[in-house]
């Protein structure tokens, strides 16, 4: 924990006491379908930190002062020379990211691969998550939620590639598609994640989103690939090919449409600022069927009724990256 001591991190009992005070709704159709409300996710995480390999850290607080928890896992008997940072749920409705993060931690903590320290932040945007939970409890599926409590998109609040080179970004009718946050790292949630990264710079970084079924590589803010594109793509293919169900496709973030730019996104930030091998995984292929009751069931856009195969795909991708870093740390394989 040496590198993490610079920040005022809480110790495990603080987290477990806090988690024990959360209350999940006793009955809810989504819960019955296997979608855990955050209280249940935190209950599961309290069991994760019972392992001596795992601990909870208070990374920071949201706009509305909700705690942002991180979970650090490493083999305590071996010095870690690789850092892996995984963050999830920057966007309020993308519960699948938090699900994958927690399932991954549950699998990792009993037997973490040696030589790599993993930090996972399952819910970066707890205020947005809270609002989407309130919507579901009120049976309101039509409220579209994405940003934090200040209305800022945390996926557009980072420091790199904030200005677009695309002509459409300058034109009055189309420039709204090329927006960023008011300033780099303008929000407490992104500041907290970046402060953590400064204290323990990651060698590899993954941000979990939905939907699309993609493992995405930098850049998001410019069309040209980075100089190490081939290596990043090879790592992305390694993650995709490990998926037990129909594997996700590998693509550079902004290559869906030639004029699309994800300005100021976290993957560009972590790749440019920390030189981390950085990825964004778009989990699920949406949960909307061809014939939905309503197209405006926004929860279902991101989170299918049956999450199983996407949880397994996501966990397999993260496990593969973790094992690669561990093997590199022990000199068993060369970095790509």
Q: Which residues contact 58 (CB under 8 A, 6 or more apart)?
A: 8, 9, 10, 14, 15, 67, 68, 69, 70
Q: Cβ closer to Zn ion: 15 or 178?
A: 178
Contact (Cβ atoms closer than 8 angstroms) between residue 100 and residue 208:
yes
Q: Cβ closer to Zn ion: 113 or 220?
A: 220
Q: Cβ closer to Zn ion: 91 or 310?
A: 91
What's the closest the beta carbon of residue 91 comes to Zn ion, in angstroms?
4
What's the closest the beta carbon of residue 203 comes to Zn ion, in angstroms?
24
Residue showing the smallest CB distance to Zn ion in the complex: 209
What's the closest the beta carbon of residue 150 comes to Zn ion, in angstroms?
17
Contact (Cβ atoms closer than 8 angstroms) between residue 46 and residue 106:
no
Tokens encoding 92: 């309020």
Q: Cβ closer to Zn ion: 83 or 94?
A: 94
What's the closest the beta carbon of residue 156 comes to Zn ion, in angstroms?
11
What's the closest the beta carbon of residue 172 comes to Zn ion, in angstroms?
27
Q: Cβ closer to Zn ion: 91 or 145?
A: 91
Q: What is the rounded CA–CA span in Å between residue 137 and residue 29?
A: 10
Q: Cβ closer to Zn ion: 91 or 161?
A: 91
Chain residues in the site for Zn ion (CB under 5 A): 91, 94, 209
Q: Cβ closer to Zn ion: 117 or 300?
A: 300
What's the closest the beta carbon of residue 136 comes to Zn ion, in angstroms?
18
What's the closest the beta carbon of residue 107 comes to Zn ion, in angstroms?
23
What's the closest the beta carbon of residue 218 comes to Zn ion, in angstroms?
16
Q: Cβ closer to Zn ion: 82 or 261?
A: 261
Give Rg (Cα) of the chain. 19
């Amino acid at each position: 924990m040496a590198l993490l001591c610079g920040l005022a991190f809480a110790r495990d009992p603080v987290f477990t006491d806090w988690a024990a005070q959360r209350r999940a709704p006793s009955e809810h159709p989504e819960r019955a379908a296997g979608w855990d409300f955050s209280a249940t996710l935190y209950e599961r995480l309290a069991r994760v930190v019972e392992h001596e390999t795992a601990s909870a850290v208070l990374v920071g607080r949201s706009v509305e002062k909700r705690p942002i928890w991180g979970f650090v896992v490493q083999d305590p008997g071996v010095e870690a020379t690789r850092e892996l940072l995984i963050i999830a749920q920057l966007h309020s409705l993308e519960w699948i990211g938090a699900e994958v993060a927690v399932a991954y931690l549950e699998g990792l903590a009993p037997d973490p691969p040696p030589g790599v320290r993993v930090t996972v932040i399952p819910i970066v945007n707890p205020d947005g998550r809270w609002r989407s939970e309130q919507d579901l409890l009120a049976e309101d599926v039509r409220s579209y939620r994405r940003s934090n409590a200040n209305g800022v998109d945390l996926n557009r609040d980072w420091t790199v590639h904030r200005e677009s080179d695309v002509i459409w970004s300058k034109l009055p009718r189309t420039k709204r598609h090329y927006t960023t946050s008011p300033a780099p790292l303008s929000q407490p949630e992104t500041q907290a994640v970046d402060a953590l990264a400064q204290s323990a710079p990651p060698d590899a970084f993954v941000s979990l989103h939905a939907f699309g079924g993609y493992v995405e590589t930098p850049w998001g803010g410019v069309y040209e690939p980075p100089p190490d594109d081939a290596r990043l793509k090879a790592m992305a293919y390694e993650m995709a090919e490990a998926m037990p169900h129909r594997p996700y496709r590998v693509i550079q973030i902004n290559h869906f449409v030639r004029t699309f730019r994800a300005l100021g996104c976290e993957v560009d930030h972590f790749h440019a600022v920390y030189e981390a091998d950085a990825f964004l995984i778009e989990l699920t292929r949406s949960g909307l069927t061809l014939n939905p009751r309503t197209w405006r069931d926004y929860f279902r856009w991101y989170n299918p009724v049956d999450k199983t195969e996407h949880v397994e795909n996501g966990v397999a991708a993260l496990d593969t990256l973790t094992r690669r870093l561990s093997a590199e740390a022990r000199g068993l394989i060369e970095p790509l």
